Structure 1
């Protein structure tokens, strides 16, 4: 059996390592256009700030490790075209320019995503940077050494982590986003108000509710960001606007969402026989709505890649869907979310209610305790849990993993009220915070 894998970051690495173990007789060939694999881009900000000194620690695999499993990995090889009827892949060696065609029995598409690059005046100026892979990380670090004013475009997780990293390096930082609040996709206003205040207290300028229209520069290098509401001096700009799936190779050959994300079934099969897909190139089943959605997260990618291997020969293990569960640390605050925010649920036309709790996470007779903010969103009819968020200086983020399981299993607020959680004064109160949320739901 000949297995061809196109792309090798999180989903690809997970699929390859599992396939090599499950099908030792198979001939597995990998084509990757970059010169490295398995880079944890979520660690870029930690590397920029100096918390992670050695970027090599952000890789968890390499071609040599795959070779030990019997995998043939071709780095700097770009897949140019795929014919799913003929079961062939046309490839170019980026070092020699040689082109050739390879045949497959099973095709695994793990081509990932790429940053959205807006087409506007000045986008090609020097020091307007992307933030996705290892090479981007190294370039940002080098450019930041000589930069004084840095503008980050996009207030999602990556953008927020970068502005914190740049501030800690002593830079003057501006955060720009077209939404009215930072972290709009992940958190409701109660939470973003706290995080915005935290950033502002560190001197970070927050410019929300405005869209970047162009960049201006001098001698080919960026000096200013122009938006619909103002102008901001910057000698380094990092674009963190979002990502789009890399799926052009299969355009018109498999079912996709309007944004190009490949639609896969619960066994990671595309609409074309013997073609599987996983990771940021795919749409995923989003359990809060029961529909497919584009949620590019490394956690989704490794699960999907592993399932490709499990289901390659026959449907065996079903994908359980995702809640888009994620977390972030912003200075002293530990923040996590799962499922839909109240804002997102209402925008989707859902009839929802919420419980919002502000309390100390453990008894006041303890020497120290921290306040926690918890919000659980649920359907008014049936009381099914669809989302939750938590914020505290104490690390209570695992509560969101628990609520992720609740959403995945279709649990209600009434069921949450009486789930068996332990009590120990070091960690919580007699009525666990999650029990309280269930009990307070009306």
Structure 2
């Protein structure tokens, strides 16, 4: 084939490719972000809207399971074992594109990306959060790591963990504590530096914080509270860390775990309303644009008591948001009865699990809420001589006027996580002290505490006695 015919064929092929490309780059539902909230939004939307074209756009080649990142050093041993399979999307007829969103045109309803322009009917922002940076001299030295959800970065971080001996963790929240407890199993020297009077103080009252600190020390972890890192010292790599108390810690590596900031720039540049703590959404994840939703760590949350904005970044909350948004993209299928967010956490330090839900007593006092606490100590088996019997400690907080449950904290065996979830359900159902005292539970000698001394009921009873005095 020669001449005009050949060129006509080339032009026709190129035109056909362009048309196919334009058809392919449209989504009924376009989700930006492939973390837990993006995945669950896509899966929920597929169940509720089986005929819609759903596309997930993410910039990462692979997605890590975020909550398990602290346990990659010794418990999991490899980043490659902590990957979410892409099949969870593709086998549900959800298209996965790997690229980065650059801008959103809300007027014409398309997103400019590194893989082309994608038009949408409904857009979901699941852009997540980024580690907070802190203004410390030496923070840019080699072997100073933040906790990023990027596979190559994490591979370098955990390779370095194995190569060094002295590690300083800046930040004594859940993630910093969990990193430390896993790394210390490799016989490394670990020091946690926390600015507040106690580790995990934002989530537990003092008696539980001190129990956690005692467990950390039993594991051989040094804990410096009420202490600030003044300077990270070294020429090229980190060598020492100078503390506010004047002490210098030997350090071959520093892990910074001081919280996250929401990724809101893409939304802000598109004219989406941004609050003090993230993208502003209503109870159904809708932004100020009715066709743009936001879920997960990038959104601003509201406290279940005060209604004020707060930043709580949990995969469990992100997935709850995603179920709401994925159900209601095109019509209101799932009405949300619960308003506000109830933070529910659990962790394990050595052989002891800890859980908390709702307010601490300290937070209640800061809010000027009068509370009555109920406490109880028992064992998790009956009789207590059974194998694996372990003490359970529980504390419940109730509003002094209304008797409503406001929060709870628990320590003990691994069942603590589900006891904490039970407290979370009671919070959301607005249980009173009397409701908990009279609640029905199932018990078994090898699985639970005795029905005579069931911890959550006995803690409510303790509070009831205080109400009546």
- 2 CA distance for matches of 1:280 and 1:155? 20
- 1 CA distance for matches of 2:323 and 2:419? 26
Match 1:223 to one of 227, 239, 264:
239
- For 1:185, the equivalent position in structure 2 comes to 202
- Counterparts in 2 of 1:244-283, with a 5 A limit? 244-251=261-268, 253-259=271-277, 261-283=278-300
Residues 204-231 of structure 1: per-residue CA shift (max 9 Å, x gap): 111111222331112x111122232233
- Counterparts in 2 of 1:281-320, with a 5 A limit? 281-319=298-336, 320=338
- 2 CA distance for matches of 1:354 and 1:65? 44
- For 1:233, the equivalent position in structure 2 comes to 250
C-alpha displacement of 1:168: 0.7
Work out whether residues 34 and 56 of structure 2, in 8 Å CA contact, stay in contact via their aligned partners in 1: yes
- For 1:71, the equivalent position in structure 2 comes to 94
Normalising by structure 2, we get a TM-score of 0.86
- 2 CA distance for matches of 1:408 and 1:286? 12
Work out whether residues 116 and 242 of structure 1, in 8 Å CA contact, stay in contact via their aligned partners in 2: yes
Flag the 1:211–1:60 CA change in 2: closer, same or farther, 3 A. same
- 1 CA distance for matches of 2:113 and 2:177? 38
1:116 lines up with 2:132 in the alignment: yes
1:351 lines up with 2:359 in the alignment: no
Flag the 1:6–1:217 CA change in 2: closer, same or farther, 3 A. same
* Superposed CA RMSD: 2.0
Matched residue of 1:103: which SS?
A: strand
Flag the 1:216–1:268 CA change in 2: closer, same or farther, 3 A. same
1:415 lines up with 2:435 in the alignment: yes
Normalising by structure 1, we get a TM-score of 0.91
C-alpha displacement of 1:6: 0.9
C-alpha displacement of 1:22: 3.1
Which segment drifts farther, 27-36 or 180-189? 27-36
Determine which structure has the larger helix proportion and give its number. 2
Work out whether residues 288 and 323 of structure 1, in 8 Å CA contact, stay in contact via their aligned partners in 2: no
Work out whether residues 267 and 316 of structure 1, in 8 Å CA contact, stay in contact via their aligned partners in 2: no
- 1 CA distance for matches of 2:49 and 2:300? 27
- For 2:114, the equivalent position in structure 1 comes to 92
Flag the 1:178–1:25 CA change in 2: closer, same or farther, 3 A. same
Flag the 1:67–1:406 CA change in 2: closer, same or farther, 3 A. closer
- For 2:187, the equivalent position in structure 1 comes to 170
Gaps in structure 2 of 5+ consecutive residues: 1-26
Work out whether residues 104 and 111 of structure 2, in 8 Å CA contact, stay in contact via their aligned partners in 1: yes
Matched residue of 1:376: which SS?
A: strand
Flag the 1:22–1:362 CA change in 2: closer, same or farther, 3 A. closer
- For 1:204, the equivalent position in structure 2 comes to 221
Q: How many residues align?
A: 430
Match 1:23 to one of 21, 26, 49:
49
